[in-house]
Amino acid sequence: MPKDGIGASTKRREDIRFLTGNGRYTDDINLRGQAYVHFLRSEVAHGRIRSIDTSAASAMPGVIRIFTAEDFGHAGGLPCGWLVTDRFGEPMQEPKHPILAEGKVRHVGDPICGIVAETLEQARDAAEAIELDIEELPAVVDMRKALEDNSVKVHDDLTSNLCYDWGFVEENKEAVNAAFAEAAHVVSVELTNNRLCANPMEARVAIGDYDPWNEQHTLYTTSQNPHVIRLLMGAFVLSLPEHKLRIVAPDVGGGFGSKIYHYAEEAFCTHVAKVLRQPVKWTSTRSEAFISDAHARDHVSKVELALDKDHNFLAIRSTTLANMGAYLSTFAPSVPTWLHGTLMAGPYKTPLVYVNVKAVFTNTVAVDAYRGAGRPEATFQLERIIDKAARELGVDGVELRRKNFIKPEQFPYQTPVAVEYDSGNFHATMDKMLELSNYANLDKRVEESRKKGKLRGFGISQYIEACGIAPSHLVGQLGARAGLYETATVRVNATGSISVLTGCHSHGQGHETSFPQIVADMIGIDASQIDIVHGDTATTPMGMGTYGSRSMAVGGSALVKATNKIIDKAKKIAAHLLEASEADIELKDGKFSVAGTDKSVDWAGVTLAAYVPHNYPLESLEPGLEETAFYDPNNFTFPSGCYGCEIEVDPDTGKVEIMAFTAADDFGVVINPMIVEGQVHGGLAQGIGQALTENCVYDENGQLLTGSFMDYTMPRADDLPVFKVDHSCFTPCTHNPLGAKGCGEAGAIGAPPAVVNAVIDALHRAGHTHVQHINMPVTPARVWAAMNSK
C-alpha cells in the first residue's frame, strides 16, 4: 500500500498555503479597471417603496451608475430549487425573490439599490445621498402571529404567510393518533431550534467580469457549488447559456451551507459587468453578512412519544413551525420536510411516525440549510423526548434507548418515514461512547463536583443522519429541481502524474489531500503524483458541489468509478506492451505484471505509451488516458453515532462548563482519519455553539438585535473541552464503492441534545426536578432563571 493511501492520516497539503496567508480567496482577486459595488439595504423590516430618487447621488464624484429593480425588469427572480407539495396535494406558495426590491422591502437588509463607483467609499457616500421614500408597514416576525387570519402579509400576492402545510407520512396520521390514544405512556415536550447565522470566517464576495469580444461572462464568487450557481443564475435569472457563463469559486473560507445558495449579489455583479463593460466587485462586510446571508434552523416544535407498558416506542408525533424568512432561499423548503421528516424515526424501531410542518413567511432574512440541515432539528426532538421519557418513567436513558434500537442484524431496515437504512450498529457506538467517557464512574465525579459547589450532569445523544442525498430520480419525485449525482475526471498525464477534476468543492474539507489518497490507493502510486482541480466551471465537469456531507460518499465514489475506467484501459495497454492477455494483467503498487511471470511494466511506462503510442494497439484502443465518471447513488448514506456530554453548572451564575465530550461515530470506511477527526471537531464546536451560545434574535419590529459579534455569541476555544473522538465502530455503506458515509455534519447534528440533556441531568441530580426543558441557547441567564422558577 502506498504511504498516503486510504486510511492514512496524511497532513492536509492545502493547509500550508492557508496557514501562511497564501490562499487565494475571492476578495484577493482584483481585475484591471474594476469598479466597486455597495448595496443600499432596507433599514426597516417591512415597507412599501413610494419612490427612489437617485439623481443627486448619481452626480456624486466617482459614481458610475446606480441600479434599481427597474434595471432588472428582464431578469427572473432568484429561483427556489425545491418544490414541496403540501398534505392536500397542492404546491407550496412560491413568491418572487427579486434581485433588488420591487415595490416592497421585506426584511432588514433587503437590497434596494446597487451603487457602482470607482471606489467603495464613493459608492457608500452616494448611497447616503439617495432619497428613499418608504412607507413603513407593520412587520410580522413571530410565526404563530404570521399564521393568524388577520396577519400582515409578507407577500401581498400570496393568500397568506403559509408557504406549505406538509404531512408525512400523511397516510399514517390516523394510525399514529390511534396509537397515542391507546398508549400506556405519552410524553411530550415543546421546544425551539434556535435561529443561527453561519458566520464563515470569509464573508461573501462576488466579482462580475464580461468579455464583449467573446460574449463571455465570468463570476468569481464565494460558492460551495459553482455549477449549481451557473445553472440557476444562467437558466433562471439572467438567461445566459452555460458556454457563455463561467463561475469560479477559488479558495473559499468556510461555507457551512450558507454559500450553497444563489444570492442576489451574484446576479447583480454578473449582469452589471456587462452593462458597464467593466468588472464590478462586491465584498460583504460582517454587518452585511448578518442581514444578507441565509440564516438557519428557527423551528418551533412539539414532539410527542407514545410507549407501551414495557416502554417500547409505539409512535412519534411531531408538529413544527418552520421559519422561511421573507423569501424562499435556494433549498429552504426541503430542510424542514425531506431532510427532517425522513429522520424522525432516528435509530429506533418506532413503527409509526407522523410529522407535520407548516413553513411560514416572516419579515426576516431567508432561512436555509446549515451544517446538518433538518437532521439536527429531528435529532434534537428525538433525543430530548427520549431523555424526558426516561425521567418520567423512572428508567435509565441508556437502557430505554438500547431497548428500542434497531438491532445490528435488522439492516437493511425500512423505516416508517420512507428511508431504508443500509447499515449501522447503534449498540456498538453507544457502548464505545460509554466506555470512552468512563460513564461507569459518573456518580463519583458528580459527588466530587458537589463538594466544589458545582452541579455535574451527563447527557446522551444517539443520532442517525442522512448524507449524500440521492438518487436523482427519487429526489426529483420529492420536489428537487436538480439532480444529485457527482462527477470526476481522471486526467492521467504522459509521465504518470494525474490531475483529478472534480465537481465537488473544497472550502475547508481537505479534498486536495483526501481525494488523491483514493487514486493513490487504487493505482499504487504516491499521492504526491496527484492533484485536485475544483471550483471552476471552465475546467471541471458538471458537478453538484459540496454540502450535505456528500463529497466523499458521492464525489469520492465518482472518483473510484473514473479511476476504475483508467485502470481497465491501462491494463489493456499493459497487456499489449507485455504481449499477454488482459485477463492475466495484475496491478499492484503501481506496477502491471503478468500473473505467474516476472514480466512487468510500471505505471509511467503505461502512461507514456498511452500518449506516445508507438507501440500501442491503435486498431482497438484510442490513445490517451483520461476518463470521466458520473455517479448517482442508489440511496442516501446513513452515518450514525453516540455522543456523551459531561458538564458542570455553576449554581450561583447558571453558567454551564463542558467538562468532557465524547463522540463515537460510525462513518463507514474512513479515508483520512485525521481529517475526519477535524471535521468532527468543527461540527461539535458548531453544535455546542448552537446549544450554549449562538442565537439570532429579532425584536417585534423585525430589527436584528444580534447584528454583530458584540451580541451574537460565537463559540470560542475556551468554551470547548478537548474532544474524545472515535470512529472505530464502523459499518461500511453497502451501496457505494468506498463504503464511506460522510462525516461533515455529524457533530452539529448530534451535539445539541447531548448538551441540553446534560444540563437537565445536572439540575435534576441537584434536586431542581421542576426543570423539564431549557430552550437553546442554554445561556447562564436561562439556566439561572430555570433553577429559580417554581
Partner 1 sequence: MYAFDFVKPATLADAVTALGQDGAMPLSGGQTLLPTMKQRLNSPETLVSLTGITDLKGVRREGDALVIGAATTHAEVARDAAGDYPGLAALAGQIGDPAVRSRGTLGGSIANNDPSACYPAAVLGSGATIITNMREISAGDFFQGMFATALEEGEIITAIRFPIPERSAYAKFHQPASRFALTGAFVAQYAGGVHVAITGASESGVFRWSEAEAALSGNFSPDALNGLSVPAKGMIGDLHGTPEYRAHLAGVMTRRAVAAAS
In terms of CB distance, is 618 or 785 closer to partner 1?
Answer: 785
Amino acid identity at 576 = H
Min dist CB 780 to partner 1, Å, is 8
* C-alpha span between 600 and 532 (Å, rounded): 29
In terms of CB distance, is 119 or 634 closer to partner 1?
Answer: 119
Pairing of strands 216-221, 205-211: antiparallel
Min dist CB 657 to partner 1, Å, is 12
φ/ψ region of 107 (left if φ > 0, alpha if ψ in -120 to 50, else beta) reads beta
In terms of CB distance, is 297 or 432 closer to partner 1?
Answer: 297
Bridge partners (DSSP) listed for residue 40: 113
Q: Which residues bind to partner 1, rule: CB under 8 A?
A: 121, 124-125, 128, 287, 652-653, 655, 693, 695, 697, 705-706, 709-714, 779-781, 784-785
Closest CA to 6 of 552, 778, 529, 733: 552
In terms of CB distance, is 591 or 782 closer to partner 1?
Answer: 782
Min dist CB 717 to partner 1, Å, is 12
Closest CA to 415 of 476, 485, 354: 354
Query: Helix, strand or coil for residue 146?
Result: helix
Min dist CB 693 to partner 1, Å, is 6
Min dist CB 760 to partner 1, Å, is 20
CA 151, chain centre distance (Å): 32
Min dist CB 287 to partner 1, Å, is 7
Min dist CB 12 to partner 1, Å, is 27
Min dist CB 711 to partner 1, Å, is 5
Burial of 291 (0-12, 13-18, 19+ CB in 10 A): buried
Min dist CB 121 to partner 1, Å, is 7
- H-helix or E-strand spanning residue 392: helix 375-393
* C-alpha span between 304 and 393 (Å, rounded): 14
- 681 CB-near residues (< 8 Å, 6+ apart): 723, 725, 747
Helix 375-393 crosses helix 746-765 at what angle (to 10 degrees)? 20
In terms of CB distance, is 208 or 687 closer to partner 1?
Answer: 687
Closest CA to 326 of 52, 38, 98, 82: 98
Min dist CB 438 to partner 1, Å, is 29
In terms of CB distance, is 18 or 784 closer to partner 1?
Answer: 784
In terms of CB distance, is 411 or 784 closer to partner 1?
Answer: 784
In terms of CB distance, is 287 or 499 closer to partner 1?
Answer: 287
Cα three-residue angle 63-67-73, rounded to 5 degrees: 160
In terms of CB distance, is 122 or 731 closer to partner 1?
Answer: 122
In terms of CB distance, is 302 or 655 closer to partner 1?
Answer: 655
User: Is the distance from CB of 627 to CB of 489 less than 8 angstroms?
Assistant: yes
Min dist CB 751 to partner 1, Å, is 18
* C-alpha span between 403 and 394 (Å, rounded): 15
Min dist CB 716 to partner 1, Å, is 9
In terms of CB distance, is 121 or 215 closer to partner 1?
Answer: 121
**CA 526 to each of CA 6, 459, 522, 539, 650: distance values in angstroms, whole numbers, following the listed order:** 12, 44, 11, 24, 53
Encode 663-688: b = buried (16+ Cβ within 10 Å), e = exposed.
bbbbbbbbbbbbbbbbbbbbbbbbbb
Bridge partners (DSSP) listed for residue 463: 641
- 108 CB-near residues (< 8 Å, 6+ apart): 41, 42, 43, 44, 45, 291, 365, 702, 703, 704
In terms of CB distance, is 125 or 293 closer to partner 1?
Answer: 125
* C-alpha span between 230 and 208 (Å, rounded): 13
In terms of CB distance, is 27 or 726 closer to partner 1?
Answer: 27
Q: What is the DSSP string of 582-610?
A: GGGEEEETTEEEETTSS-EEEHHHHHHHH
Min dist CB 300 to partner 1, Å, is 18
User: What phi, psi does 413 have (nearest 5°)?
Assistant: -125, 120
